Amino acid sequence: MGDPLMKHDRSFPNMPSEAGAKTVAELSVAGRPLGELASNDIQPPFVSFVVICWNYARYVAQAIRSIKQQDYPHFECLVIDNGSSDDSASVILAAIEGDARFRMERLDRNMGQLGAAIWSLAQIRGSFVVFVDADDFLFKNYTSSHLQVHLALPQSVPLTSSGVTEVDAQGRILTSRYSHIKIDQKYVVRGLCPSCNIVRFPMVSDEQYEVVAAQTGIIPREITGWHWGPGTANMYRRSMLDLIRLGDGSQDYMRAADTHFNYMCHAFAGSAVIDLPLSAYRVHGDNYFARQETYDALSKGTKEYAENSRLDRLASAELLLREPEKFSWLLGGSYWRVFDQCAGAGADGSRRTFRRPEAREIFARNIEPLVLTHGKVALGREIARRFGYRKGKRLMAQGLKGRLRLRMHGQLLFQSVVGGSGIVRALRRLSLRKRRRKMA
């Protein structure tokens, strides 16, 4: 397995300069060819696909074929055999043979989907990244549609997510849209910039642009919950993935990649959804997330997945506690809101999430850098709001390595009563509703 911290040349691999010049010439701004405006001083976006395969030899070749057939040509594809025990490796090698845009890496163990995704970040070059589930496949216009949305939104977001067509193990259609994506909500900011104001891709016609614009919306970052398509349906900006990555790529994370990346990306800077099916999500007996197609009236996913997801979100949110100085500077006054949102605490600051022993553990592990960054009084206030007086007192005493002064006891007691009260939660909910009305 390669060094996860190795550095890579970010130039376009396997793409002759004349091909790049041709693509730039085909891009346009306000109807004028970009090649005419900028010559070869500008290059089209480069996308990295990462196919993570663990014992999906029966499906992975179709996933690879769908990437080869993309109408946007400027990409690379890293296919990871994530410690498979079937014949995935031989199937992958046969599927990618003869195409220099594709390469395979074999890991000596199953690092988990998130573990393999984080490991891959040191191996890829793209400014936009898609983690492809080996049992899914993309539609031909997937890449061009996502990139056009990224470049045409009225504000940049780190994540775009599209609808999916759910299919069975044999590829037969079960549903034509994904019920989680709901752009008709009042808080959704609908539409794209006028087509004359942005860089246009030749693969997206004027008619197609209007359709995509009508079916796209920004989800403001304060809105909680799951709003996106699963796994393959998401395209990320590489810069945000680097910011929220866990570890150095050598650790195993037996978790879904989208659970970490989607919640974190959205809480930091919002997201956009495209209510059009741009890929197929396969539902079969071996899915970890779901055993059947989605129904609006039923809980999504399996009970096991839902429970593990709650713990996974706490583990993701610990990143903000581990590096409080960096993230406090980046997020400013929204630091604690973003932390609560990443942890799954909800918009009202509910203590339900913080009743778990795992929540106390992540604070206990990071209490010293938190004190250094936020100060004793401010940190005590935030801890009391989440854990109450007694548990908050123990956490603060651990961080301060001794007995607490009387003033700190009073601060913790006051915040545990007032900060965690129904009155404060009601005020927070009211504030959120006001923001949503303004957005509407």
Res. 413: pLDDT tops 50 = yes
pLDDT band at 103; cut points 50, 70, 90:
very high
At a CB cut-off of 8 Å and minimum separation 6, what does 69 contact? Answer: 140
Between 24 and 308, where is the model more confident?
308
Question: Same domain, yes or no, for 81 and 107?
Answer: yes
240 and 388: one domain?
Answer: no
Residue type, position 309, single letter: S
In a domain, 11, yes or no: no
pLDDT, one tens digit per residue, over 336-349 is: 999 999 999 865 44
pLDDT band at 8 (very low <50, low <70, confident <90, very high): very low
The one-letter amino acid code at 315 reads A
**Residues 140 and 190 reside in one and the same domain:** yes
Domain identity same for 416 and 380: yes
Per the CB < 8 A criterion, the answer to whether 302 and 291 are in contact is: yes
Bridge-based pairing state of the strands 28-29 and 173-175: unpaired
pLDDT at 18: 46
Whether the pLDDT of residue 305 is over 90: the answer is no
Domain that holds residue 200: 17-301
DSSP-assigned letter for residue 155: S
Is residue 52 domain-shared with residue 134, that is, in the same domain? yes
Tokens 């009387």 correspond to: 406
Whether the pLDDT of residue 188 is over 70: the answer is yes
Q: Examine the domain organization and report whether 113 and 35 are in the same domain.
A: yes
| Mean pLDDT score, 107-133 | 98
Q: What's the pLDDT at 3?
A: 43
Does residue 144 sit within a domain? yes
Same domain membership, residue 136 and residue 167: yes
User: With contact defined as beta carbons under 8 Å apart, do 134 and 51 qualify?
Assistant: yes
> Are 199 and 269 within one domain?
yes
Rounded CA-CA distance 89/92 in Å is 5
- The average pLDDT across 358-376 equals 92
Provide the pLDDT confidence category of residue 438 given band limits of 50, 70 and 90: low
Q: Is the pLDDT of residue 424 over 70?
A: no
Same domain, yes or no, for 135 and 27?
yes
- Does the structure show a pLDDT above 80 at 39? no
Q: Does the pLDDT at position 310 exceed 70?
A: yes
Q: Are residues 401 and 334 in the same domain?
A: yes
Residue 313 predicted with pLDDT over 70: yes
Average pLDDT (122-140) is 98
For residue 13, name the pLDDT band (cuts at 50, 70, 90): very low
Structure tokens at 267: 């809480």
307 assigned to some structural domain: no
Q: Would the pLDDT of 122 be above 60?
A: yes
> Residue type for 338, please?
V
Question: What is the pLDDT confidence band of residue 396, given thresholds at 50, 70 and 90?
Answer: confident
For residues 265 and 360, state if they share a domain: no
Flag whether pLDDT at 399 surpasses 70.
no
CB atoms within 10 A of CB 332: 9
Q: Which of 259, 275, 301 is the C-terminal boundary of a domain?
A: 301
Q: What was the pLDDT predicted at 423? A: 45
Strand partners, 130: 49
Give the domain-ending residue among 240, 271, 301.
Answer: 301
Can you give the CATH number for the domain in which 182 is found? 3.90.550.10
**Is 1 domain-assigned?**
no
- 254 vs 425, which has greater pLDDT? 254
> 388 pLDDT exceeds 90?
no
Q: Is residue 8 part of a domain?
A: no
Q: Does residue 237 register a pLDDT over 80?
A: yes
426/332 Cα distance (integer angstroms): 24
Residue 261 per-residue DSSP state: H
φ, ψ of residue 104 in degrees (nearest 5): -115, 145
CB–CB of 126/77 below 8 Å? no
Same domain, 168 and 110: yes
Identify which has the larger pLDDT, 310 or 327: 327
Asked if pLDDT for residue 225 goes beyond 60, the answer is yes
| 306 is a domain residue | no
- Confidence (pLDDT) at 298: 66
Give the CA-trace dihedral at 114, 116, 121, 126, to 10 degrees.
-90
Domain assignment present for residue 5? The answer is: no
DSSP string covering 219-241: E-TT--S--S--GGGEEEEHHHH
- Residue 391 pLDDT: 79
The predicted pLDDT at position 306 comes to 67
In the listed set 301, 326, 345, which residue is the last one of a domain according to the structure? 301
Residues sharing a CB contact under 8 Å with residue 119, sequence separation 6 or more, in sequence order: 1, 4, 80, 107, 111, 249, 250
pLDDT at 281 (0 to 100)? 95
Q: Is residue 395 part of a domain?
A: yes
Reply yes or no on whether the pLDDT at 414 is more than 60.
no
Q: How many distinct structural domains can be found in the chain?
A: 2
Q: How confident is the model at residue 4 (pLDDT cuts 50, 70, 90)?
A: very low
